[in-house]
Structure 1
Amino acid sequence: MNVTLLTVGDNVVDRYLQLGVLYPGGNAVNVAVHGRRCGAGAAYIGTVGTDVAGRAVLDALVAEGVDTSLLRVVEGPNAYADVRVVDGNRVFEHGDPGVSRFRLTPADFAAVAAATIVHTGECSMVEDQLADLSAAAPRLSFDFSERPDDYIDTYAPLVDIAIRSLPSATVEEAEREARRIHALGPELVAVTMGAGGAVGLRGEQVVHAPAPATAVVDTLGAGDAFIGRLLTGLIDDAPLDTLLGAATAYASSSCASFGAFGHETSLEQSTAPLNPIHKGVDLS
């Protein structure tokens, strides 16, 4: 596989205790899967545990055609987050990072340099390695989510593509925030506004893409779906208005089902005996 989209960092299983099921997820994993579904050659670098949760994440990545040749399997529990859905909106409760923190290796940085776009984010715990990622990546994308201004001010100068979440913002507020972040250095800034759609800024061009009407079941992972589609459009060099509209529509469609991208597993299975977990598979 020619890797055009490489994601680095977090994975997790989202445990829906009310429903008795879990789904694989995490920003870096979700972006890789959605990028692959949208046509990118996607690969993921991260760490999974040796429990059922780790198996669920790895099996889902392999099933989705994401290259896992640089994924690590580390003895111990996988990261998890407990989720409630209230009126269609996901609410995170207790969670644990498990074995998900890791250091990038020379082989990782070689893969970073060879990719077209590299993506990571505020949940990936790689801030202390971000300067090295920035130096190696042809284009570095970063999800700032809802982090405060001082966090954004620190790390935005290191990235080329910045994604920001302001769920309650007006279009005017989102545009102001996009201009503020753009002035810090990123060439492209996208600000998502939940049901309000998204604002994108590149150079002097500003675009607003409204979100289409959608029957919302679960908003978990919608922002990551937006990023996966956005970055795939950037790889294909699509115009800003085209790719922002496509990313917003794609993110809205992801809200029609539970979990970030499917692959449901019963929580009862998490207590079943576990065969030795398989290693990463190079699907190139």
Structure 2
Amino acid sequence: MLTVIGEGLVDVVQRSSGTQAHVGGSPLNVAVGLARLDHPVQFVGRYGRDAYGESLAAHLKSSSVLLPVAPDGLPTSVATAQIGDDGAASYTFDLAWELPGLAERLPFLLQGTTLLHTGSIATMLAPGAAAVLAAVEHAHPSTTVSFDPNCRPSIIADVDYARGQAEKFVALADIVKASDEDLEWLYPGVDPLDSARRWLALGGAEGPAMVVVTRGAEGPWGVNAAGEAHFPAPAVTVADTVGAGDSFMAALLSGVVDRGLDGAQNRKALRELSAGSMRELLAHAAAAAAATVSRAGANPPTREELKLAEAGAPLPASTARERQP
């Protein structure tokens, strides 16, 4: 079982052609991406007893993601995404992030988990961020941990605080993914690749096995103990960039799981992964991101669609499990 802890919300997407609402949130998108790649996965996050919350739960169910938490009395969080003419998205948020009672339920929720993913708002915004860090600390001795800061400066404007939070999670993670924009914001004036190399050393012997940087059209780059690797971004006509990084993260983790490298007992093997194998993982993840940007919304590919994308074949505009609030 794979577990994702983090925020779920509803993306209200505004374009020049009109407004649509879709279930989203970076960690939730990763959970859906993993499920569409045929991995058993559960999502631990909050949602409200309202119409948006019902849509969120239905969306997860439609993609076969388990939801072991009940709705609470707060409104379901909303992110408003403004899509520019170039397909890029900018966000504003109305959200609540807390996970009361999570600590008491951790042994049950994480039983059998071989990989725990978290990131984004969930790891930064109080009071829930403290509960997420406690969950990662609890899971680390037995579980592969992955982290994506997916920084949101419009929510967490204090870069010093955000940097400190990110580094706490990086030091506990085995697999870290960040965008070049994340790293440029966290470490102004520093080459993002140099920041990634520094992150690889955080936590010492217990720190990351690999750090990956997504760079848009330049393609992803990664660093591990064996060296560095790069894969060029696939050529694709961009519908929008919503969820591209999350699809990349899901496919990267899927590749790790497919190689039998999840679980703390495989931590040594993950650390010894060759640079060539890391490049294969980057290629796999880049194809998933390309599939997502080729169609509207955070719509990650199924395993069958990812095979098509890797072969350079066109994808359908949507999957059978596409979600609508």
Distance 1:252 1:27 in 2: 17
Distance 2:42 2:168 in 1: 27
Which region of structure 1 is more displaced relative to structure 2, 123-132 or 154-163?
123-132
* Contact 2:199 2:208 survives alignment (8 Å): yes
2:174 is the counterpart of 1:160: yes
Residue 199 of structure 1, CA deviation? 1.0
Instruction: Specify the code of the residue in structure 1 equivalent to 2:215.
Output: M
Q: How does 1:221-240 map to 2 (within 5 A)?
A: 221-237=243-259, 239-240=277-278
* Aligned residue in 2 for 1:140: 145
Instruction: Specify the code of the residue in structure 2 equivalent to 1:127.
Output: A
Q: Deviations over 1:127-168 (max 9, x none)?
A: 323144233241111111247544433432122221111149
SS of alignment partner, residue 197 of structure 2: helix
Give the direction of change, closer, same or farther, for the CA distance of 1:173–1:80 in structure 2 (3 Å limit): same
* Contact 1:225 1:254 survives alignment (8 Å): yes
2:217 is the counterpart of 1:217: no
2:246 is the counterpart of 1:186: no
Q: Deviations over 1:166-209 (max 9, x none)?
A: 14999x94432221110112112111112221112222231111
Out of 114, 128, 131, the residue aligned to residue 130 of structure 2 is 128
2:323 is the counterpart of 1:263: yes
2:34 is the counterpart of 1:47: no
Aligned length: 258
Residue 111 of structure 1, CA deviation? 3.0
2:64 is the counterpart of 1:65: yes
TM-score (norm 1): 0.83
Instruction: Specify the code of the residue in structure 1 equivalent to 2:167.
Output: D
* Contact 1:116 1:235 survives alignment (8 Å): no
Distance 2:63 2:211 in 1: 28
Residue 17 of structure 1, CA deviation? 3.7
Give the direction of change, closer, same or farther, for the CA distance of 1:168–1:141 in structure 2 (3 Å limit): closer
* Aligned residue in 2 for 1:280: none
* Aligned residue in 2 for 1:88: 87
Instruction: Specify the code of the residue in structure 2 equivalent to 1:229.
Output: A
* Structure 2 segments unaligned to the other structure (5+ residues): 153-158, 185-189, 261-276, 300-321
SS of alignment partner, residue 149 of structure 2: strand
Distance 1:102 1:250 in 2: 31
Distance 1:178 1:58 in 2: 35
Distance 2:252 2:60 in 1: 20
Give the direction of change, closer, same or farther, for the CA distance of 1:144–1:127 in structure 2 (3 Å limit): same
* Aligned residue in 2 for 1:16: 13
* Contact 2:6 2:120 survives alignment (8 Å): no
Give the direction of change, closer, same or farther, for the CA distance of 1:169–1:214 in structure 2 (3 Å limit): farther
* Aligned residue in 1 for 2:315: none
TM-score (norm 2): 0.73
* Contact 1:227 1:247 survives alignment (8 Å): yes
* Aligned residue in 1 for 2:226: 204
* Contact 1:226 1:248 survives alignment (8 Å): yes
SS of alignment partner, residue 78 of structure 1: coil
Residue 48 of structure 1, CA deviation? 1.0
Compare the two structures and name the one with the higher strand fraction: 1
* Contact 1:140 1:160 survives alignment (8 Å): yes
2:289 is the counterpart of 1:251: yes
Compare the two structures and name the one with the higher helix fraction: 2
Instruction: Specify the code of the residue in structure 2 equivalent to 1:11.
Output: G
SS of alignment partner, residue 212 of structure 2: strand
* Structure 1 segments unaligned to the other structure (5+ residues): 266-284
Residue 12 of structure 1, CA deviation? 0.8
Instruction: Specify the code of the residue in structure 1 equivalent to 2:290.
Output: S
Query: Greater relative contact order (Cα 8 A, min sep 6): structure 1 or 2?
Result: 1
* Contact 1:109 1:133 survives alignment (8 Å): no
* Contact 1:16 1:84 survives alignment (8 Å): yes
SS of alignment partner, residue 110 of structure 2: helix
